[in-house]
Structure 1
């Protein structure tokens, strides 16, 4: 391991079941908390929140395959993400808690179905098909833009049509650091959107998860993301939910102090 800035972060590497290298950072002390980030992002997006979690947890945040410090394979499905999380949970050790954001929350749900979680499972706005496919027919247009190399247009199309951000909000998003970091990752979203839509709208199978689960949703987020979180509370037998007033899908970046407080409260730290 080598130390890097910001202070308190060390980088490491492990290997998934198929031999894919997974880069991750470790920060803090206390019970282990494995964090799985969402689409078009990397582990770096969780640096602000882990600054405020590090006094209570040992945070392990990996770059999901295909980005950051992690490797990739041509073949891809949700099971590969589950295997990657399993590799991280092995490093974290018994009793680890698990947090997933957006598509990462779907990955952690799939992990919980097949492996269980010793600690608490936290799900921050998983994108479920509660009102129809998330991408649907629009995925063909998105794929065409990506294959043509028009990544900025692809990202704008996805934000409006898949995340369902108001079109008038896109110029403001373009001015944020989030845009610059997300554009190069737009190709990785194609396969993830395929996986999201393949899950369908039947949530009943999640009822077999007996792990304590806590959902997190911002009241200012996209309606289907807010509805997804609430729909799961009606299915998961041991679940609760915290609403974040006035915040959205990026609450962990906009209000890392408040977000960290919600995580600590859900786990009882």
Structure 2
């Protein structure tokens, strides 16, 4: 990350920008840094100034205790300031929950988009799984068992044991353990794991909720529920896409939606 801005509490937030045009800030999900959003930023750069950043507690950004969702909203406020005072926002996975909260908080957001925010309303036993995950994650992090915390997240995301074991043996595992405390941040942003309909009803700006046509039905239904809860919400499905969306499939949809 080439640049830094200071959030309201003094935490440095590292970011990069590419392209020219109206500002679009891309918000990553759990266990991700701003670099994970770089391909999407590159795909938008011909029409927008696309910003990627390391959320607090990961990558090159700082961290300041105690954590609160409002601090991450303030991080976005600082980035919007660096972008010229107004921006569109796009959040992927749990980053979408942060984008929705930022839009509801009255930041100068022109339009917002979210891709498959994993609210568990339509997942079988979803609410119970989220509650158990929260309890176990809190215990693992309190006891310093970062590897166990990463495993819990990977299982919540539906990864099989053999994939988790392969990750444990890979060079990337040390970095995943280093980022493990930020899992608590994403979990807090997601609240109780259910669509926050009352909060979404207060969002004054247009919101596009996008899902992959090949994603599980519960994720598609959760995405549609977000669109229905926002007064100026709309829904879009991307044929053939999954939760690991192809940036080149998502970028044209965002570009059309964000173009003034």
TM superposition score normalised by structure 1: 0.83
Distance 1:167 1:46, change over 3 A: same
Cα gap change, 1:166 to 1:236, in 2 (>3 Å) = farther
Runs (5+) with no aligned partner, structure 2 = none
- Residues of 2 paired with 1:219 and 1:168: CA distance? 26
Instruction: Indicate the residue corresponding to 1:121 in structure 2.
Output: 112
TM-superposed CA distance for 1:139, in Å, is 2.6
Residues 47-103 of structure 1, C-alpha deviations (whole Å, 9 max, x = no match): 112121111110111211111111101201111111111111111124421111222
Counterpart of 1:225 in structure 2 is 219
RMSD, aligned CA: 2.7
Alignment: residue pair count: 256
Partner residue, 1:265: 256
Instruction: Name the counterpart of 1:184.
Output: 178
- CA shift in 2, pair 1:99/1:202, >3 Å: closer
1:26 is matched with which residue? 17
1:214 aligned to 208, 216, 227, which one?
208
- Report the Cα offset of residue 125 of structure 1: 1.5
Q: Decide which moves more: 193-202 or 134-143.
A: 193-202
User: Is 1:103 aligned with 2:94?
Assistant: yes
1:122-137 alignment runs, 5 A limit? 122-130=113-121, 131-132=126-127, 135-137=130-132
Match of residue 133 from structure 2? 138
Does the 8 Å CA contact 2:77/2:107 hold for their aligned counterparts?
no
Preserved CA contact (<8 Å) 2:130 2:192: no
User: Higher mean Cα deviation, 74-83 or 216-225?
Assistant: 216-225
How far has the Cα of 1:107 moved from its partner?
A: 1.2
C-alpha distance in 1 between matches for 2:80 and 2:173? 30
- 8 A contact 1:41–1:181 mirrored in 2: no
TM-score (norm. length: structure 2)? 0.85
Question: Cα gap change, 1:71/1:153 in structure 2, threshold over 3 Å: closer, same or farther?
Answer: same
Q: Establish whether residue 37 from structure 1 lines up as the match of residue 31 from structure 2.
A: no
Do 1:134 and 1:196's aligned partners in 2 also have CA atoms closer than 8 Å? no
Q: Which runs of no fewer than 5 residues in structure 1 stay unpaired?
A: 1-9
Cα distance in 2 for residues equivalent to 1:73 and 1:133: 31
User: Is the 8 Å Cα contact of residues 73 and 102 (structure 2) preserved in structure 1?
Assistant: yes
Residue 205 (1) aligns with residue 196 (2)? no
